[in-house]
A and B are shown apart, each in its own frame.
Chain A
Amino acid sequence: MSTQTTPLNATHRESGAKMVDFAGWDMPIHYGSQLKEHETVRADAGMFDVSHMTVIDVAGEDATAYLQKLIANDVARLGFDGKALYSGMLNEAGGVIDDLIVYRVDGFAGYRVVVNAATRDKDLAWMQQVASSFKVELQERAELAMIAVQGPNAIAKACKVIHEEWESTVKALKPFQGIALQGGWFIARTGYTGEDGLEIMLPADEAALFWKALAHAGIAPIGLAARDTLRLEAGMNLYGHDMDESISPLSAGMGWTIAWEPVERDFIGRKALEAQKAAGVAQVQVGLVFEGKGVLREGMRVVTENGDGVITSGTFSPTLKQSIAIARIPAGSSGQVSVDVRGKLEPARIVKMPFVRNGKAVFA
């Protein structure tokens, strides 16, 4: 498969971005320093090209019933137009096919679903397969670009360059709420950094000009490397690392995304999850703050009093100036653990995530 590019590819190259392959997409990893970019998002405002992500609109008279079958969270909880929900999409065994955000969009008589780029093909195949028993139409919106602006000043700065008549509407958005606007634009107060901000979907041919306007408004471009450290500090999962089809959401910190009520809603994976709950969930997700030498990395062994676990995402936290990780370990562990760092057992402490929210350390 040839490498895919977003509508902002030339813009990134003009800005001196270092480009890498990400899931078949040619994407900016950083624009000079991932640490500076990370700090910019925590202290001010940064923007991310996330046009590689897959947007799928779901419409039709069975749209609600379809999504209530397809995902573990319940779209009936979306109480008003534009409201968003985070959920896992599970297989029958209760493994995570992908994680996603779904927005209720009354103007489409349905919903907008955003899934990961790396899982696009299998997600679409699965969604089509499940759709065959519902009156529902799925439409991929590959013609849309997506730009996330994140940081304490992101909304104020972005509002300087969006359509004047949208400004009050956008400023009134509540967290996890979006709105469909004219000309194919969709703006939501969501993100993947632990900061306030917006995710803006817009026609691809308008993306480069809008990106430059955001830059002019003082929003710095941020690469995928900082996106990863930001989301990890925010305690947010990355698909394919913190969970996958072999991992239960109950072992990946996603228990809160499973809508068990109403009990008669038979979402895919429900029976498997109920059996896991009845048997007792053996592995759970925790945050780790490192107290040893080095940096925690994905794949390192975690030694606890109840047996071994594994780090699923690890990095140096630019905000905390120490190493942190997301780990999957035997249930019932607390306090201190050890991590096998290239053959040496080094101390780490179990904490409740997130590590950082709105620019400040919040873990306990």
Chain B
Amino acid sequence: MSKAPAELKYVETHEWLRLEADGSVTIGITDHAQELLGDVVYVELPAVGSVLAKDAQAGVVESVKAASDVYAPIAGEVVAINDELVGAPETVNADPYGAAWFFRIKPADASVLDGLMSADDYLGQIGA
């Protein structure tokens, strides 16, 4: 059974978002996404300072069996990336909502999160 913490927001491409105190937004992939992928063996992250459009490709996550793009669910500048994830991609399977965050975006407008899915909406969409 896939987990989806209630305090996060979600998008249908299986990324989660968390608004931080400083106004930045942390982004990762969901428990459901890591379950679908299986054992993750490779992660590619965007460059710090790059400016991403909404839905632009921001990275790649590959398991033994499949490759999947990671998208920027909202527009903004990349202000931090989780470098440790590149050296330990298996963290994506072990802790998708914690240690396996992918990158942090400074959105032009934090209110864009309001329109995104809640945990219940997301779980409903994936049929969990």
Contacts and interface: CB of A to CB of B under 8 A. Distances in A.
Interface of A: 30, 33-35, 225, 229, 293-295, 297, 315-316, 318, 342
B128 to A, nearest CB: 15
A225 B64 contact: yes
Contact of B64 (A293, A294, A315, A342): A315
A197 B110 CA distance: 59
State which size class the interface on B falls in. 10 to 19
Contact of B42 (A30, A229, A294, A342): A294
B39 A35 contact: yes
Contacts of A225: 38, 64-65
Nearest to A229: B64
Contacts, number: 38
A295 B38 contact: no
A297 B62 CA distance: 11
Nearest to B62: A295
Contacts of A295: 41-42, 62, 64, 67
Nearest to B93: A33
A316 B62 contact: yes
Contacts of B64: 34-35, 225, 229, 295, 315-316, 318
A225 B62 CA distance: 15
Nearest to B39: A35
A316 B38 contact: no
A318 to B, nearest CB: 7
Interface in B30-89: 38-39, 41-42, 44, 60, 62-65, 67
Nearest to A38: B64
Contacts of B60: 294, 342
Given A294-B67, A297-B67, A34 B42 contact: no
B65 A294 contact: no
A30 B38 contact: yes
A33 B92 CA distance: 13
Given A225-B38, A294-B60, A34 B44 contact: no
B48 to A, nearest CB: 18
Most buried by A among B42, B60, B65: B65
Nearest to B64: A316
A266 B44 CA distance: 54
A316 B90 CA distance: 13
A295 B67 CA distance: 8
B111 to A, nearest CB: 34
A319 to B, nearest CB: 12
A3 to B, nearest CB: 20
A220 B98 CA distance: 31
A297 B67 CA distance: 9
B113 to A, nearest CB: 29
A202 to B, nearest CB: 30
A316 B64 CA distance: 5
Contacts of B63: 316
Contacts of A229: 64
Contacts of B90: 35
Contacts of B39: 33-35
A338 B41 CA distance: 21
9 contacts: A34-B64, A34-B65, A294-B67, A295-B41, A295-B67, A297-B67, A315-B65, A316-B62, A316-B63
